[in-house]
Amino acid sequence: MKRRAVSRALHLALLATALLLASPQLPAWGPEGHRIVGQIAADRLTPAARAAVAAILVDEPEPTLAGVANWADEVRDERTGPLHYVNFPAGNFPIGDCHYQPPRDCPGGRCVVAAIDNAVSVLKDRKASAEQRRVALKQLVHFVGDIHQPLHGGQAEDRGGNTVQLQWRGEGSNLHKLWDVGLIEAIEPDWQRYVQRLASKAAGVERGALAADAWAMESCLIVSAPAFYPADREPGPDYLTAWQGTVDVRLNLAGMRLAALLSTLFPG
């Protein structure tokens, strides 16, 4: 009986491991984070871009950038999952490893960098249908948020932190989920108040280039920073204090860059 119990326990452990490795990466930032990015962008649109966005989203149940920001996660499946992230080589991440190389890091154009570029191309295409433009805009809002979550430019070896198990506030979690949801909830659980909070911090944020590959490399370099991976599998207030500023900057940058990109696409 004891041998049978051990055998069954081993079988269940192997099954659980297989399911973990087969499952897609978790969505970036979580619903609140994506809404934050969408609202920051909406608040910064030029009048012409605001009108264009309203026209494209007119038939949506919630026709705002914040309202459609989570759509790409809602329809996500095995085919579209790779479009939400880009993997860089595992290891200690010297700067050379964080240099985006499409054949290596985005084979077949199936990564978040290419997904952003493709959505931009559709929105630029005057021959694209209204439905194609609507889908492209909803994808763009989401994928710009995704690429600014550092672990969506993380390493394939641990699936962007998904296999790094830890305890957060007394509950089982992993590093990816901590960055998706845990840190944002700890800073400010109400996404609208979070947007207001970030408004006062935007003045000191340099927007930088409007280039998806550059945004991905930024995320990779953050993941490579000392102490990004907590030494203690029960990170607490010290980890939050150390990385809260980075969370704020990445959310602000995502919204600011999305607004600038849309304002460039729809100049009026």
Q: Per-residue pLDDT tens for 65-85?
A: 999 999 999 999 999 999 999
Burial of 265 (0-12, 13-18, 19+ CB in 10 A): middle
Bridge partner residues of 227 (DSSP): none
Q: Does 108 reside within a domain? A: yes
Q: Does 100 reside within a domain? A: yes
Q: Does 183 reside within a domain? A: yes
Helix (H) / strand (E) element for 168: namely: strand 165-168
Tell me, yes or no, if the pTM score tops 0.85.
yes
**CATH number reported for the structural domain that contains residue 58 in this entry:** 1.10.575.10
Our count of domains for the chain comes to 1
Q: Does 10 reside within a domain? A: no
Residue 91 is predicted with a pLDDT of 61
Separation between Cα atoms, residue 68 and residue 61, nearest integer Å: 9
Q: Which residues of the chain have pLDDT under 50?
A: 1-25
Q: Does 153 reside within a domain? A: yes
Residue 27 is predicted with a pLDDT of 56
8 Å CB contact between 138 and 71: yes
Q: Does 14 reside within a domain? A: no
Residue 113 is predicted with a pLDDT of 98
Domain that holds residue 126: 26-265
* CA atoms lying within 13 Å on the CB side of residue 42: 20
Residue 5 is predicted with a pLDDT of 41
Interacting residues of 144 by C-beta distance below 8 A, sequence separation 6+: 37, 116, 212, 215, 254, 257, 258, 261
Q: Does 229 reside within a domain? A: yes
Separation between Cα atoms, residue 102 and residue 77, nearest integer Å: 23
Q: Does 13 reside within a domain? A: no
Per-residue CA distances from 142 to 28, 58, 163, 235, 247 (Å):
9, 18, 23, 28, 17
Per-residue CA distances from 108 to 6, 81, 115, 144 (Å):
43, 14, 11, 20
